Structure 1
Amino acid sequence: MKNLMRLGGIMLLAIISITSCKKDSRPLDLSLTPVGTLASPNDNEDIALDPTSQASVLFKWEPATSENGTLILYEIAFDKEGGDFSNPVYKTVSDGGGVDAQITITHKQLNKIASMAGIQSLSTGKLKWTVIASKGTNNKVGTVSRTLQVDRPAGFAENPAELYLTGSATEGGTDITKAVKLKKIEDGVFEIYTSLKAGDYLLTDKPGDGGKQYYVENGVIKEGSTPITVSGSQKAYRLNFDFTSATAKSLEIQSIGLYMSAYNTEIGTLNYTSNGTFEAANVPVEFYQFSWGRDERYKFILHTAAGMEYMGSSNANNVAPAGQPASYFYLVPVTNAQWDNTYKFDPSADGKHVKVDVMFTPDAYTHKVTVL
């Protein structure tokens, strides 16, 4: 009997609780008045985009309103000139996670948006923009919009994160999985020391199917699958591709000289082998005798089709190589100063022969000296 009474009490409380909840429930107020005033930038303002800088544009508007003053979120929307924002080319939330009635957009991002709207590099075009206000599931496009005229510079709006060479003219051949990777010098700038032979090649951002492809026409990088043709005998080159300016450079590297400072001359010649490596298999080394001791300093000279370039250490003065980190052997462009930015041979190289390798890899430009 007591159990029945206890069960009945529990059921009565549940009924009261459910009834109470029903009485307290209220319909959700999603009323919203859309954005009706845009503050900046001015309509038809002309902006010369500089995506390589930190420049930005502030977009501001008067807040939307709702009857109960609850939270409103904002998105700025961009469309092509003449578009109605039914399918905008780009949308993003405002500052403050969508709460603020403004957003700061960099020139770099605006350059990408202009590209999405079909405005080509080195051309001028117009973007339309407005603000979408939302409250819950209720989204309302602004009742007003403005036009922004943008002048795009040369270069790509979206730079590849990686870059590879592939094709019959390359060391990797036509197998895309063996595409040769370039070194990323900085954002949008890539470089490689490699050999090219008669045939053709393309640039791609992926060593596999589905990657974007690029080619070069009259020194200008373009997106597409038109092959770059190479003729003549196989030669070593330094290739540079700058997507920020859409420019490409090619320079033949004829050989690399092993320059010894004390003699002020080259004591050996490194020739190209493969995979970005130049090698001198057997070079006699004799330290120079000064009154204070024997001098062992050296660096490298690149002999190119355009003249000589010097490469050496980032340190103006160096210590002996024993116990030094891998970065000791890294190569950077240096001046032709006889004594500056040199390395030092290991003392065991004096009066011996050495094998010297210079490696230009995607990870580092470096070298190795092996005493024979």
Structure 2
Amino acid sequence: MKQALTYGSMALFAVLSIASCTQTVRELNPAVTPVSSLMTPDNNTSVKLEPSTPASVQFKWEPTQAAEGVLYEVAFDKVDGDFSKPFYKTVSDGLGVQPQLTLSHNDLKKIAALGGIAASSTGSVKWTVLASIALNRQMSTITRILTMTRPAGFAELPDSLYLTGSATEGGEDVTKSIALKKTEDGVFEAFTSLKAGTYYLTDRRAGSGKNYYVAKDTLREGNTPVTLTGATKTYRLRYDFNIATAQATEIQSVGLFMSAYNKEIGTLTYAGNGTWTAASIPVEFYPFSWGRDERYKFVMHTANGVEYLGSANVNNNSPAGAPASYFQVQSVSDAQWDNTYKFDPTADGKKVKVDLLLRANAPYTHQVTVLK
């Protein structure tokens, strides 16, 4: 028994010895040398910013000679600055590990604005690389100048946008303002009517948001309302904060287009809240030798010409049992047979109620109800 205990003690001692070896902790060497070579972009490089595109600029440098554990940051300052208080800093790619930084043109647009480069103008900033281990941070011995040309767009893009004022469907109560659909970063759209009165844009329905207005088709920040006169009209409004543009396209009418007849078989009337409706449209499938054709889509007549709205699919089957996405609409070509839907088979020889819903809070879609 005593011998067994002795062997057990020796085994336990061996295990503990091995464990103590595997848990040896090496101290981190905080010594770090400054980055001594900046590779790209070259000094005095000029970049024309196009923030609405996927374009980017890559900053690269030679790694510091520190063995491991280095965190890289790229700092930006005014041309006459000394980087004691850079106006912008960000870690490199790979959460600060890689000796490079990729910045999109949209990121650079914000950096340009922080550096004092106004919209629609050209200016320069200075950049360098900081290398650090723990609390030891070293600034590169090299700095470079980057010249950027900003477009007319805003440096900070709103995440939401609302239309309010006496000229709008929601009136002057901002809590009832008209929401716009965000179609991409910085781009918003609304189908709505405007009447005589005033309106402005805001990024919040409540509280102190940023306000915007339109002057000569250009978006500007401020509290100056737009004044409208004349009769009520329906519009597709589009605002692009990337390039500070505003576009109001008058929608004169919307029709239900049946492919086999190659013409509109009914007209929808604007009913407010981004909705066009027709209470009763007669439908007669077209008799071909192979069968009766039931394909349709929508045609929108605007002050700038004719546009078509239809399915994302070039060809569709019967809507029976189809998901809600079947009825979603988008801008499509004017091809007679393409991107069409099919009526429910029971619609042949009947009348249908049609609603086209172009609202901000849901996918653009439509509904067809066969009347008894």
TM-score range, shorter chain: 0.7 to 0.9
User: Aligned pair 1:81/2:82, yes or no?
Assistant: no
Distance 1:130 1:350, change over 3 A: same
**1:368 Cα shift?**
0.6
Deviation at 1:169, TM superposition (A): 1.5
Equivalent AA in structure 1 for residue 87 of structure 2: V
Counterpart amino acid of residue 117 in structure 2: I
Equivalent position of 1:365 in the other structure: 364
Give the conservation status (yes or no) of the 8 Å contact 2:163–2:178: yes
Counterparts in 2 of 1:51-70, with a 5 A limit? Answer: 51=51, 52-60=53-61, 63=64
Query: RMSD of the alignment, in Å?
Result: 2.6
What's the CA shift for 1:282? Answer: 1.7
Give, in angstroms, the shift of residue 276 of structure 1: 0.3
The amino acid of 2:156's aligned partner reads E
- 1:236 CA displacement: 0.9
**1:100–1:301 Cα change, 3 Å:** closer
Within 2, Cα distance between the matches of 1:259 and 1:37?
65
- Letter in structure 2 aligned against 1:213: N
1:98 to 96, 99, 123: 96
Residue 299 (structure 1) aligned to one of 297, 300, 310: 297
Equivalent in the alignment of 1:240 = 238
What CA deviation, in whole Å up to 9, does each residue of 1:282-329 have, x standing for no partner?
Answer: 222233333333332222111212222222222233222111111211
| Shift in CA distance, 138/201, structure 1 to aligned 2, threshold 3 Å | same
Residue type at the aligned position of 1:57: Q
Name the residue aligned to 1:213. 211
Matched with 1:191 is: 189
> What residue identity is the alignment partner of 2:204?
K
Secondary structure, counterpart of 2:109 in structure 1: helix
Distance of aligned partners of 1:127 and 1:292 in 2 relative to their CA distance in 1, 3 Å threshold: same
Take 1:124 and 1:64, find their aligned partners in 2: how far apart are those partners?
37
Q: Distance in 1 between matches of 2:105 and 2:289?
A: 61
Of residues 42-51 and 107-116 in structure 1, the stretch that sits farther from structure 2 once superposed is 42-51
CA contact (8 A) 1:38 1:62 kept: no
Q: Is the 8 A contact 2:32 2:64 kept in 1?
A: no
Is the partner of 1:273 in helix, strand or coil?
strand
TM-score, normalised to structure 2, is: 0.83
Q: Is the 8 A contact 1:57 1:107 kept in 2?
A: no
Amino acid at match of 1:204: T
Select which of 328, 332, 345 maps to 2:343.
345
Preserved CA contact (<8 Å) 1:40 1:61: no
Q: Secondary structure at the match of 1:111?
A: helix
CA distance in 1, matches of 2:235, 2:348: 33
Q: 2:307 aligns with which of 304, 309, 313?
A: 309
CA contact (8 A) 2:39 2:59 kept: no
CA gap of 1:318–1:140, structure 2 versus 1, over 3 A, is closer
- Write the letter of the residue equivalent to 2:111: I
CA distance in 1, matches of 2:73, 2:331: 48
Unaligned ranges ≥5, structure 2? 1-26
Tell me if the contact between 2:35 and 2:61 (Cα under 8 Å) persists in the aligned partners: no
Partner of 1:12 in structure 2?
A: none
- Of 162, 165, 179, 1:164 maps to 162
Count of matched residue positions in the alignment of Structure 1 and Structure 2: 343
Whether the 8 Å CA contact 2:164–2:199 is kept in 1: the answer is yes
Alpha-carbon distance between aligned partners in 1 of 2:317 and 2:161, rounded to the nearest angstrom? 36
Q: Indicate whether 1:42 and 2:42 are aligned.
A: yes
The alignment-based identity, stated in percent, is 58
Q: TM (normalized to structure 1)?
A: 0.83
Residue identity in the other structure for 1:74: Y
SS of the residue aligned with 2:272? coil
- The equivalent position to 1:149 in structure 2, one of 130, 147, 150, is 147
Say whether the 8 Å CA contact 2:56–2:102 is kept in structure 1.
Answer: no
Q: Mind listing any 5+ residue stretches in structure 1 that lack a counterpart?
A: 1-26
Give 2:169's aligned amino acid. Answer: E
Quote how far apart the aligned CAs of 1:29 are: 7.9
Identify which range, 46-55 or 109-118, moves more after superposition. Answer: 46-55
The amino acid that maps onto 1:348 is: T
Q: 1:29 to 1:248 in 2, by over 3 A?
A: same
